[in-house]
């Protein structure tokens, strides 16, 4: 069990560019979540997947944001036409619905996005 | 949006003392969880308390839940320098799979 990994750890981009982040959950965890955290605040929910199905999206997830989990394993989060307000830490978490501890979410280290 | 608020926003105590932080939330919940976040590291789950429970212990952690007041507290006993971190409460509502986090308490343990 290597934990949740996220790549890249840091991303600096210019306004208007597209960026893509990757999350690799704990092996065989069937739920995968994306959150966004800005400085001094708690994480805010963006979306989650059960296997490959995207089951819920926050209103925070504008049409510039898209997330996929094509094979029910890793997930990608893409932001198109980035804006300075997108600067934040993007956190991925996973959990296993089949276990009694399914309420516990295991978080990755995050990808810090800076939009110049 | 944040579900609730933590109080205090920041807390500094001497090593060995107990630290108490509080969390208030707004809507009915299925469970409430506490997470720790160290600088440069991800969030780590500490403890979960269900809506039908009033108190729970895990090692040096004690969590209480008062659903009538929509509030919870986290007590860390015999604090250590390694406890220095931000602590967040997170709630999960019935029929909802997402976690809604509070604003966090920044705890500093002074050696």
Contacts of B104 in chain A (CB under 8 A): 40-42
Q: In this predicted structure, what is the pLDDT of residue B7?
A: 87
Contacts of A58 in chain B (CB under 8 A): 98
Closest C-alpha to B1, from B65, B91, B62, B79:
B91
Residue B46 reports pLDDT greater than 60: yes
Contact B90, B101 (CB under 8 A): yes
A75-108 burial code (b ≥16 CB/10 A, e <16)? bebebeebeeebbbbbbbbbbbeeeeeebbbbbb
Mapped onto helix, strand or coil, the DSSP state of residue A86 is helix
Q: What is the mean pLDDT of chain A?
A: 93
CA distances from A50 to A9, A68, A72 (A): 24, 11, 8
Distance from the Cα of A42 to chain B's closest Cα (Å) equals 5
For B98, other C-beta atoms within 10 Å of its C-beta total: 20
Q: In this predicted structure, what is the pLDDT of residue B91?
A: 94
Closest C-alpha to B101, from B85, B86, B90, B87:
B90
A31 touches chain B (CB under 8 A): yes
Contacts of A56 in chain B (CB under 8 A): 97-98
Distance from the Cα of B51 to chain A's closest Cα (Å) equals 13
Residue B55 reports pLDDT greater than 70: yes
Q: Model confidence over B22-39: pLDDT tens digits?
A: 999 999 999 999 999 997
Contacts of B1 in chain A (CB under 8 A): 44
Average pLDDT of the residues in A86-105:
88
Q: Model confidence over B90-103: pLDDT tens digits?
A: 999 988 888 999 99
Q: Do A105 and B100 touch (CB under 8 A)?
A: no
Please provide the size of chain B in residues. Answer: 111
Q: Write out the two tokens for B68.
A: 């009538």
Q: In this predicted structure, what is the pLDDT of residue A86?
A: 97
Residue A44 reports pLDDT greater than 80: yes
Q: In this predicted structure, what is the pLDDT of residue A103?
A: 80
Q: Write out the two tokens for A48.
A: 């989650």
Q: In this predicted structure, what is the pLDDT of residue A9?
A: 95
Average pLDDT of the residues in A30-43:
94
Q: Do B42 and A104 touch (CB under 8 A)?
A: no
Confidence of residue A81 (pLDDT cuts 50, 70, 90): very high
B104 touches chain A (CB under 8 A): yes
Substitution target from A7, A29, A37, A42 for chain B, most B beta carbons within 10 A = A42
Mapped onto helix, strand or coil, the DSSP state of residue A88 is strand
B54-80 burial code (b ≥16 CB/10 A, e <16)? eeeeeeeebbbbeeeebbbbbebeebe
Q: Write out the two tokens for A95.
A: 């959990």
Distance between first and last Cα of chain B: 36
Residue A1 reports pLDDT greater than 60: no
Q: Which residue has the higher pLDDT, A78 or A104?
A: A78
Distance from the Cα of A90 to chain B's closest Cα (Å) equals 11
Q: Do A91 and B100 touch (CB under 8 A)?
A: no
Q: In this predicted structure, what is the pLDDT of residue B40?
A: 66
Q: What is the mean pLDDT of chain B?
A: 92
Q: In this predicted structure, what is the pLDDT of residue A102?
A: 73
Q: Model confidence over B58-82: pLDDT tens digits?
A: 999 999 999 999 999 999 999 999 9
Q: Do B42 and A43 touch (CB under 8 A)?
A: no
Contact B2, A41 (CB under 8 A): yes
CA distances from B31 to A14, A26, B56, B92, B103 (A): 40, 23, 12, 5, 18
Residue A97 reports pLDDT greater than 90: no
Percent of chain A at pLDDT exceeding 70: 98
């Amino acid at each position: 069990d290597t934990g949740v990994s996220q790549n890249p750890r840091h991303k600096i981009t210019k306004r208007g560019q597209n960026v893509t982040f990757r999350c690799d959950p704990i092996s065989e965890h069937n739920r995968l979540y994306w959150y966004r955290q800005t400085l001094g605040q708690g994480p805010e929910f963006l979306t989650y997947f059960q296997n490959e199905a995207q089951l819920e999206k926050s209103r925070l997830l504008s049409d510039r944001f898209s997330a996929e989990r094509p094979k029910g394993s890793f997930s990608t989060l893409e932001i198109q036409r980035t804006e300075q307000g997108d600067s934040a830490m993007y956190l991925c978490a996973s959990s296993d619905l089949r276990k009694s501890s399914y309420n516990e979410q295991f978080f990755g280290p995050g990808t810090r996005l800076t939009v110049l | 949006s944040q579900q609730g608020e933590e109080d205090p926003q920041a807390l500094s105590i001497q090593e060995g003392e107990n630290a108490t932080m509080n969390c208030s939330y707004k809507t009915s919940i299925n469970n409430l969880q506490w997470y720790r976040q160290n600088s440069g590291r991800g969030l780590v789950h500490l403890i979960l308390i269900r809506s039908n429970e009033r108190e729970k212990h895990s090692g040096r952690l004690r969590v209480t839940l008062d659903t009538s007041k929509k509030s919870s507290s986290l007590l860390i006993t015999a604090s250590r320098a390694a406890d220095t971190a931000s602590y967040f409460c997170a709630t999960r509502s019935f029929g909802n799979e997402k976690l809604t986090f509070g604003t966090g308490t920044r705890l500093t343990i002074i050696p």
